[in-house]
Structure 1
Amino acid sequence: MGRDQVDARRQDDGRRRFLRRAATVAGAAATGFGSLEAYAAQPAAHGAPAAGSCRGTVGRYPFHGAHQAGITTEQQAFAGFISFDVLAEDRKELTELFKTLTEQARILIRGVKPKDVEVAAEPQTQDGLTITLGVGASLFDDRFGLAGRRPRLLTPMPEFPDDRLDPTTCHGDLSLQICAEHPDAVVHVIRELARRTDGKMRPRWRADGFHNPARPSGASRTFVGFKDGIVNPDTASSKEMDRLVWVKPSSGEPAWTAGGSYQVLRLIRFRVESWDRVPTAAQEKIFGRRKASGAPLDGRREKDLPDYSKDPHGRKTPLDSHIRLANPRTAETADSLLLRRSYNYDGGFDTDGSLDLGLVFCCYQQDVVRQFATMQKRLAGEPLARFVSPTGGGYFFVLPGVRDASDWFGSGLLKT
């Protein structure tokens, strides 16, 4: 069999796997949202759905803006993270691919109106939908002449000391984050984009996640029972976002990257059977927080700030606890806070009967070295590492926003 035949077969096999996986997202009861004919007007801000909508029902986030939605947007209940290898033959085809993704995302996010009675019961808007596109380091090889335009800090994700990475679930040319309030919206977008981009990109790996409701209040919990994402920068503060999340023209990056952000994805499996045998008091020492309330060990409420200056020897909050290593709260680490946007995943059972539960860790930052990588090095060998295994993911650069109806994803990157 010739090379062209092998590539064609791989492409066909990849597409079949892509669509098969798309159809099996847990809980998806329906996959259609009507025809892609008419669509409604957009609201004006990324931070909240359109007027008259509410979290958990239908709502629309805007597509156009200086930054992509899905980063500072209020976290939706469900998410799909997909990495792709680009199959475009040259830069012209790559540009066509990005324009097609833009056109379809613009339509899908605005929502559609049913054109006949048979689909009248289906949602008329896309359910708080956001579609967020990023590029990986491999896109900047010699295929498309983009090597000189690679974001300065964009590299393949390294393997950190406690990782057990599976190459089949790492890296990729593109990353696509699809978030919505119900899982059928995520599946619908995947199917529609697969249909519209046939032959131009091939799925490399995929992870689906969900955001647990707060119990009883505050941040949601992961499958190890502790609250996740309590400490995050203020997404309503443009000053805070400019300091920690958005790439700026003055940062030494290529000019086209301004308004984008570095995305880190990590597929983290929890060894829950071992974790469940650890007494709660010991679990709290490992995390540095109370399991019931989420409060730091020297506080009473979830949002209380730990005061490590009063505990230099770690008698209250152990020096090797997760929260103390991740955020030491020193002057030197003040600019290392990152914006977390993670989701739980449930992969069922392994062949040996072990539960496959974990976290699709997702974060955004201005500087992936200063923020994520530096934090990860501090966490090396922490006690929690005995119970978690990072198995996949990647570094990506989320493109600046599509500014208006004449703009498209990656226009600054691809325009000559």
Structure 2
Amino acid sequence: MTDNPHSDLHRRGFLRGAALGVGAVGAVAGGATVLAGSAATAATPSATSPAAPARRKAGFHGVHQAGIVEDVQLSTAFLSLDVTAADRRELTELLHTVTERARFLTSGGTPAALGITDSPSDSGTLGPQVPGDGLTVTAGVGASLFDGRFGLADRKPLRLTRMPAFDDDDLDEAWCHGDLSLQLSAPHADTVLHALRDIARNTRGGMQVRWRMDGFTSPPRPSGTPRNHLGFKDGTANPEVADPAVADHLVWVGAGAEPAWTAGGSYQVVRLIRMLVEFWDRVSITEQERMLGRTRDTGAPLDGSHEFDTPKFSQDPAGDVIPLDSHIRLANPRTAKTENSRLLRRGYNYDRGMDSNGNLDMGLVFVCYQQDLERQFAAVQQRLAGEPMVDYISPFGGGYFYALPGVRDRTDWLGRALLA
């Protein structure tokens, strides 16, 4: 245990909260302030429509975690966390608590009634009943969790490392990496923020936010895939992961290739990408479309008519129609050799207002899932090095994580196989 009495106090608060179980919250006053403790937590609340449709409750139990292959939701919060638990026992208690809170929040119900002298067990921001509201909670582990603190070094997923700085990156260490990742997504921003406060309060002393970014997805305009801040549709060429065979081939890690506990999980990449929209807005539409390789209005490839038309690269070997250095041609050349490098892209817009120079500060929370970091994300990123788009985007943060296998039933918990 640490010799710092303040750390001990925080930890005791966390352990008390963990002991209260599902539907209850530790009675440590001001527990949610853990989310304001980091210098890199400032983020504008997600800008979602108040008329966003309610969703059915998301299924919490299963072989895989929810929030990966499901449709992108309107509101999200992505958090990177540093574990402050002292040892493996406390790490186990932490993941038990995260599981219990996620199970309750995604299912919905009545918050536990505590004594009249205790603080309320719920923030009340969703009213007296927690609705579920389609909330998904997706948890991952970073490479730093496998250092010497918890005796897990020999269980690290084979491809999991600290995210390197790729060509054209301008990474800020305060916005990179982390022991754990946590993504909360729902149709409404208040559902996301309620879940964030609940989990923070219950895990006080066990983990602390390293950085946080809130995001939102715009409704399709006028139809098809939602658009990013550059005005183009984002995620058109995603693989059809509704087909289990495709998901098993590109997204999920299976038994045998990695440490046994990883089966059912997926490598998660997060990239925080600022978009220099004030410069982009001065570029001609023709140049914008040639940089992307798609028409802005319809999302169709420059040699097609509809968004989901397959570009005919083989019929345009010189790049006369779709330039050879266009984004879609570099990211997905559509060759037999690069077929296995496709990944599942999950993008969210963000808006943080203005920077210190008075420039618009907005961009993309790029999240993707894949079976193999090197074969998929890293290979794509290397092909994109030096693309014309780099003059208008600036990746500044993010990290590599491993999305844990799903929670099978009510006796299971996130990370059980890892810590067993």
Does the alignment reach a TM-score above 0.5?
yes
Alignment counterpart, residue 235 of structure 1, candidates 220, 233, 241 = 241
| Number of residue equivalences | 389
Q: Does 1:85 align with 2:82?
A: yes
* 1: CA distance, partners of 2:382 / 2:321: 23
Seen in structure 2, the aligned counterparts of structure 1 residues 119 and 25 have a Cα distance that, compared at 3 Å, is closer
- Maintained 8 Å contact 1:14/1:203: no
> In the alignment, which residue of structure 2 is the partner of 1:387?
392
Seen in structure 2, the aligned counterparts of structure 1 residues 385 and 120 have a Cα distance that, compared at 3 Å, is closer
Q: Report the Cα offset of residue 28 of structure 1.
A: 8.9
> In the alignment, which residue of structure 1 is the partner of 2:202?
196
Q: Report the Cα offset of residue 227 of structure 1.
A: 0.4
> In the alignment, which residue of structure 2 is the partner of 1:255?
260
Alignment counterpart, residue 107 of structure 1, candidates 104, 107, 110 = 104
Show CA shifts across 1:142-163 (max 9, x none).
Answer: 0000000000000000000110
Letter of the aligned partner of 1:405 in structure 2?
Answer: R
* 1: CA distance, partners of 2:54 / 2:42: 22
Q: Report the Cα offset of residue 122 of structure 1.
A: 6.0
Seen in structure 2, the aligned counterparts of structure 1 residues 162 and 354 have a Cα distance that, compared at 3 Å, is same
Question: What SS is found at the alignment partner of 2:340?
Answer: coil
Q: Report the Cα offset of residue 16 of structure 1.
A: 3.0
Alignment counterpart, residue 66 of structure 1, candidates 60, 63, 66 = 63
* 2: CA distance, partners of 1:233 / 1:180: 22
Show CA shifts across 1:271-319 (max 9, x none).
Answer: 1111111000000000000011000000000000001000000000000
Spell out the pairing of 1:289-328 with structure 2 (5 A cutoff).
Answer: 289-328=294-333
Question: What SS is found at the alignment partner of 2:290?
Answer: helix
Q: TM-score, normalised by structure 1?
A: 0.88
Seen in structure 2, the aligned counterparts of structure 1 residues 386 and 119 have a Cα distance that, compared at 3 Å, is closer
* 2: CA distance, partners of 1:163 / 1:14: 36
Letter of the aligned partner of 1:243 in structure 2?
Answer: H
Letter of the aligned partner of 2:165 in structure 1?
Answer: E
> In the alignment, which residue of structure 2 is the partner of 1:284?
289
Spell out the pairing of 1:132-281 with structure 2 (5 A cutoff).
Answer: 132-251=138-257, 253-281=258-286
* 2: CA distance, partners of 1:94 / 1:9: 17
Seen in structure 2, the aligned counterparts of structure 1 residues 409 and 225 have a Cα distance that, compared at 3 Å, is same
Letter of the aligned partner of 1:16 in structure 2?
Answer: T
* 2: CA distance, partners of 1:27 / 1:220: 14
Letter of the aligned partner of 1:236 in structure 2?
Answer: A
* 1: CA distance, partners of 2:236 / 2:55: 26
Q: TM-score, normalised by structure 2?
A: 0.87
Seen in structure 2, the aligned counterparts of structure 1 residues 22 and 359 have a Cα distance that, compared at 3 Å, is closer
Give the fraction of aligned pairs with identical amino acids, expressed as a percent: 54
Q: Report the Cα offset of residue 56 of structure 1.
A: 1.8
* 2: CA distance, partners of 1:120 / 1:360: 26
- Maintained 8 Å contact 2:84/2:206: yes
Question: What SS is found at the alignment partner of 1:67?
Answer: coil
Alignment counterpart, residue 25 of structure 1, candidates 39, 42, 45 = 45
- Maintained 8 Å contact 2:176/2:397: yes
* 2: CA distance, partners of 1:4 / 1:340: 42
Question: What SS is found at the alignment partner of 1:125?
Answer: coil
* 1: CA distance, partners of 2:278 / 2:10: 37
* 1: CA distance, partners of 2:126 / 2:312: 56
Q: Report the Cα offset of residue 235 of structure 1.
A: 2.0
* 2: CA distance, partners of 1:232 / 1:259: 20
* 2: CA distance, partners of 1:216 / 1:29: 16
> In the alignment, which residue of structure 2 is the partner of 1:16?
33
Give RMSD over aligned pairs: 2.7
Show CA shifts across 1:60-116 (max 9, x none).
Answer: 011100000000112111000000000111111100101111111111110114799
Q: Report the Cα offset of residue 185 of structure 1.
A: 0.6
Alignment counterpart, residue 341 of structure 1, candidates 346, 360, 368 = 346
Unaligned runs of 5+ in 2: 14-29, 114-123
* 1: CA distance, partners of 2:277 / 2:93: 45
* 2: CA distance, partners of 1:206 / 1:9: 24
Letter of the aligned partner of 1:408 in structure 2?
Answer: W
* 2: CA distance, partners of 1:144 / 1:238: 35
- Maintained 8 Å contact 1:293/1:302: yes
> In the alignment, which residue of structure 1 is the partner of 2:366?
361
Seen in structure 2, the aligned counterparts of structure 1 residues 295 and 9 have a Cα distance that, compared at 3 Å, is farther
More displaced 10-residue stretch of structure 1: 14-23 or 258-267:
14-23
- Maintained 8 Å contact 1:81/1:176: yes
* 1: CA distance, partners of 2:268 / 2:328: 21
Question: What SS is found at the alignment partner of 2:369?
Answer: strand
Unaligned runs of 5+ in 1: 31-53
Seen in structure 2, the aligned counterparts of structure 1 residues 318 and 242 have a Cα distance that, compared at 3 Å, is same
* 2: CA distance, partners of 1:326 / 1:9: 49
- Maintained 8 Å contact 1:29/1:184: no
Q: Report the Cα offset of residue 399 of structure 1.
A: 0.4
